[in-house]
Structure 1
Amino acid sequence: MQNIAWIGTGVMGRSMCLHLMNKGYKLSVYNRTREKAADLIEKGAQWCDTPAQAAQGADVIFTIVGYPADVEAVILGEEGVLKTAKKGAIVVDMTTSEPSLAVKIAEEATKQGVNTLDAPVSGGDLGAQKGTLAIMCGGKPEVFESVLPLLQTFGENIKLMGADGAGQHTKMCNQILIATTMIGVVESLLYGHKAGMDMNEVIDVIGSGAAASWSINNLGRRIADGNFDPGFFIKHFVKDMGIALKEADLMNISLPGLAMAHQFYRAAMAQGLENLGTQGLYKVFESMNQPN
């Protein structure tokens, strides 16, 4: 079995870790807050005090953290994984991050004889728990093929999209589509609620027709049940949309739908909803439609 280092055991990372452990892989783990890795440690994962310590001797090093600055710190920083990664090791960053940072990491890793793959995921907490994540990858074909069996323990739709950074560009396409879809989801359900309809019954019908989407059938159910717990944090979604808008500006293209969704989600942040799941956007629209 390969020795694996795992950096980041939050909402997504913890479940992904568990899938690997259940397959018998030996894991060394690091998380900024040790408590979030407690159950993994109880199941046999080796706790490490720094990303560099976790990476020492590992064949494959996974990272899934919050923001690009966090990615840079845990991979390229003073206590980052590249400080101790052995020659021939593979660093797989599964954070949704900047395509340019993925290229920078690949360049720095290559100097040390380390391989990389940028491999952001889609599917939320449910996809991580069920092992059905979509994983979009950027990097060398031979590196992708060598880690594919590991990715298949928690992913279902896994594809190499191109060279370094291509995985991140694909994830931006994913987030752009979700951003505007979520406006439709919350407006649709708010309309149904105000019309006196049962939200779940509405979803039963429209979720199987031309309006069907993952968002209405999964996050719409959570809205109907009054469940705004995070499968993916609003604050992280705002980060992702900001990256996409920045990349769009560099390509000299206009994405007005994304810009509008970004502003609505920033309004959610301003209302203190940043730690809710992305379905928390419903609360913003609900508050805009309260009687005076």
Structure 2
Amino acid sequence: MAEQNAKRIIGFVGTGVMGKSMAGHFLKAGYQVLVYTRSKEKAEELLAQGAAWKDTVAALAREADVVITMVGYPHDVEEVYLGEAGIIANAKPGSYLIDMTTSKPTLAQKLYEEAKKRGLYSLDAPVSGGDIGARDARLTIMVGGDEDAFAEMEPLLKIMGTNVILQGGPGAGQHTKMCNQITIASNMIGVCEAIAYAKRAGLDPVRVLDSIGTGAAASWSLSNLAPRMIAGNFAPGFYVKHMIKDMAIALESAKEMGLLTPGLELSKSLYEELAADGEENSGTQALIKWYEKQLGVNQ
């Protein structure tokens, strides 16, 4: 299988904050990589490293053996996969299609069915780990699809991540990512409120993190995003606008299952207020600004 994978041509659609690093790992591993993104300048670094540019997703799909997508929203996923100019209509029979966008579970199931009709293998494989995880090839990758297709693609997925788990059939990867985002949503509120509390109490928030970051309160957000909040670094590892999109998908899916998620609803409302204040393109750690504004705690 390893020898077979080494001969495969990788097509990568979407080279943004995370996609650029993810595609770059295949170049470093010696794969032939084709890339397409709406703004070619976002792919310039990859092209300089040896990737080949394709003008359309159709052209990329016709040449690639494995097509990986990392785009923004469910409507972007539909645009690149469906229709006469999409990936599914143009991919070679026997190709593997891996959507790593956080998208709707129902859409993942639809892509699987459409791909199957054309003799293609489809996996939904959203990720967690942000820009740092993508850069260091330490992403958590949550996969939905057939076991055989997963077994074939697992070595390639492990080029981008260290925690790669098949969660079930089509859509299971996306459902798992919703669990991830639901957890983060409420956790981020706790992180922000802790920092605001520390400042109001006259404590040094950096020293507070030194104490609570290794105890029962420990979390990825506390360790990685709280220091950025304190330093006033709001560059996106993951955009506010994309977090809002993910929470909307999770709420929709939860309601379809008859599940109440009050913590998720609260977090989404706070992020929407933050976006309305012009922070939609900031990193999710910018939620601390809501507290700075509402509680009068100064940076």
- Give the letter aligned to residue 109 of structure 1: A
2:186 corresponds in structure 1 to 180
CA distance in 1, matches of 2:24, 2:132: 14
Instruction: Give the Å deviation of 1:57.
Output: 2.2
2:282 matched to 1:276? yes
* Aligned residue runs from structure 1 range 187-266, under 5 A: 187-266=193-272
Instruction: Give the Å deviation of 1:244.
Output: 0.5
User: What SS does structure 2 have at the residue aligned with 1:177?
Assistant: helix
CA distance in 1, matches of 2:263, 2:218: 19
**Cα distance per residue 1:52-100 (max 9 Å; x no partner):** 1111121100001000000000111342211210000000000000000
Larger deviation: 197-206 or 251-260? 197-206
- Give the letter aligned to residue 195 of structure 1: A
User: What SS does structure 2 have at the residue aligned with 1:231?
Assistant: coil
Instruction: Give the Å deviation of 1:34.
Output: 0.5
User: What SS does structure 2 have at the residue aligned with 1:61?
Assistant: strand
CA distance in 2, matches of 1:202, 1:78: 56
Instruction: Give the Å deviation of 1:290.
Output: 2.1
CA distance in 1, matches of 2:18, 2:86: 21
TM-score (normalizing by structure 2)? 0.96
User: What SS does structure 1 have at the residue aligned with 2:140?
Assistant: strand
CA distance in 2, matches of 1:242, 1:174: 14
CA distance in 2, matches of 1:76, 1:285: 42
User: What SS does structure 2 have at the residue aligned with 1:66?
Assistant: coil
CA distance in 1, matches of 2:85, 2:259: 38
2:152 matched to 1:133? no
- Give the letter aligned to residue 99 of structure 1: P
- Give the letter aligned to residue 186 of structure 2: T
Match of 1:156 among 155, 162, 167: 162
Runs (5+) with no aligned partner, structure 2: 1-6
CA distance in 1, matches of 2:229, 2:110: 39
CA distance in 2, matches of 1:176, 1:32: 30
CA distance in 2, matches of 1:114, 1:226: 46
User: What SS does structure 2 have at the residue aligned with 1:232?
Assistant: coil
1:43 corresponds in structure 2 to 49
- Give the letter aligned to residue 15 of structure 1: S
CA distance in 1, matches of 2:62, 2:35: 11
2:20 corresponds in structure 1 to 14
**Cα distance per residue 1:90-126 (max 9 Å; x no partner):** 0000000000000000111111101100000000000
1:54 corresponds in structure 2 to 60
TM-score (normalizing by structure 1)? 0.98
Runs (5+) with no aligned partner, structure 1: none
% same residue: 52
- Give the letter aligned to residue 166 of structure 2: L
Instruction: Give the Å deviation of 1:203.
Output: 1.1
CA RMSD of aligned residues (A): 0.9
CA distance in 1, matches of 2:39, 2:203: 43
